Amino acid sequence: MFVNSSTTFVADALRGLVASTGDIAWHADPGFLTRRDPLSPGRVAVLSGGGSGHEPMHAGFIGKGMLAAVCPGLVFTSPNALQVHEASKAIGVGGGVLHIVKNYTGDVMNFGIARELLREDGIESDCVVVDDDVATERADGDGPGRRGTAATVVVEKICGAAAERGDSLADVATLGRRVAANSRSMAVALHPCTLPGSDEPSFDLPEGEIELGIGIHGERGTSRVPTMAAQEIVAALAGPVVDSLALERGESVIAFVNGLGATHPMELQLLYGELAEFLSDKGIEIARPLVGSLVTALNMGGASVTLVRVDREVLELWDAPTDAPAWPNTPATSAGYLGARQGFGPAYTPSGLDDDRSEFVSAWVGNWVQRVLDEESSLTDLDRRAGDGDFGTNMAAALHQLDLGSVRERYSATTIFEAVSEAYLGHAGGTSGALFGIWFRQFYRNLGTVDLASITAAARSGLDTITELGGARTGDKTMVDAIAPAVEALEAASDLAAGLRAAAQAAQTGAESTQELTANRGRASYIGDAARGVVDPGALVIAWFFQAASDAR
């Protein structure tokens, strides 16, 4: 984490925020943010706030059509009552002040004290408490109730828009409470956050496990379970949300997938696709989608799902414009079409099945494919240490496209190599996808009768094509370090079995030699000597390829 000092972290960040925006002003004593330009006389002033660490909530939502002021506390710590009191006085223009408060004890208490002080000042105020987190919902009603989490920004947007159109304080507050009552959320963490100045995460989460029902203050969840596929995670989050809202078929919602700080936009889009399918299966319409990291927990890896039951008025206010810097510039005004699940890249349709089938090639390639798939994580680890960490994923992305049963039982020898080539060229991407795709294409084009001569010719053609295309030579720490000696071994052999054994040994030795090489080609070349001591994963996969051939023979 970038810090100057843990004690100045919030102040330093606010300094940068103000410097990067045109309509936000910082009032250092006692500490609050407002719009630079005052509201029109008689308008309701909407104020929110809470502990820092949830950015862009709340400060990023100061602007016309949303918040007039924000009171930030220290990281995950409520602002104090004097901050809220002074900020409320600063933004009041005669229409009253509405506080939007997340349901945490400190927040509720300090905002409540501030309203008492405002009453003494003769300033009208009201409050909307957001309590959307179903993970802390209790059937008996005891305890502090549901925590306030991601639905807070939905309430801020709706109330801000209602205030902007000139609604009274009572009407804006009533509307806000209605939206809050119709909002529920649940979150999951893949890894915890780390607070500024700390060397330890906020909680321990073992490898291979995830935390369901976490809050936005770095706290543990309500259950810890083994890692699941995204589709299952979405069901685990959205199911309790739907149940708590008692949503029925035919109802409409705002569907909000929110990142918790360290979750990539691609992951959030993936989760939204699963949520859209989950809701469609239940007959629940998504009237408006929202995807993004708007309510974070510092650098927590995870996401939350929020659903808000809507009506026509809520949607009109949701669509109303705002110039708040963190609100999406072009928010969707309807849900898009959810297409069928499909792979990335062109589909492959085999042209040859039983004709010229070779049990040797079927076993050779089938066993090799299975080994590469089984070793995906170890290949990724090697590439993480010597490259950019995507090699294992690229291998799996290609080879998962194959019908392994047909490779083993139905496809002809040439069809097998064509299928593998097409899988790489169409689904792996990057340098590895292109080079492996071209390598296997030479086997498809050159493999006539399955014998030593045709396999040797295919391998030689593959080597020549790769070196011409990529420019790598022996000693550059690439797959060529395994291919070149294997080809030489095949060319020196007198029979197929002996040739494959020699090629397998030569390829393995070549792959092992890359451990002490400095890369001159590929992504590993960018980090120079830092890749020394690591076997090149591409060379290793080629060594496995020749080993599988030798074993199958």
The residues that are catalytic are 217
Q: Which two three-digit tokens encode residue 335?
A: 């849900």
Instruction: Name the CA radius of gyration of the chain, rounded.
Output: 30
Measured CA to CA in angstroms, residue 406 lies from 396, 425, 552 at distances of: 18, 20, 17
Tell me how far apart the alpha carbons of residues 331 and 321 are, in angstroms, rounded to a whole number.
10
Q: What is the rounded CA–CA span in Å between residue 112 and residue 115?
A: 5
Q: Could you tell me which of 523, 381, 360 has the C-alpha nearest to residue 455?
A: 360
In sequence order, which residues have a C-beta less than 8 Å from that of residue 520 and are 6 or more positions away?
A: 472, 475, 476, 477
Phi, psi angles (nearest 5°) of residue 164:
-65, -35
Give CA–CA dist 255/276, Å, rounded.
Answer: 8
Quote the CA–CA distance of 162 and 165 in Å, as a whole number. Answer: 5
Q: What is the DSSP letter of 253?
A: E
CA angle 192, 79, 35 (to 5 degrees): 105
Whether 380 and 435 have beta carbons less than 8 Å apart is answered as no
The whole-angstrom separation of Cα 265 and Cα 400 is 24
Sign for the pseudo-dihedral over CA of 440, 444, 447, 451: positive
33 CB-contact burial (10 Å; exposed 0-12 / middle 13-18 / buried 19+): buried
Cα–Cα distance measured from residue 518 to residue 336, given in angstroms and rounded to the nearest whole number: 49
Q: How far apart are CA 128 and CA 20, in angstroms?
A: 30
The strand ranges marked E within 106-201 are 125-130, 183-191
CA distances from 368 to 35, 416, 465, 545 (A): 63, 12, 22, 6
Kind of pairing between the strands at 223-226 and 209-212: antiparallel
Amino acid at 134: V
Distance of alpha carbon 451 from alpha carbon 533, whole angstroms: 37
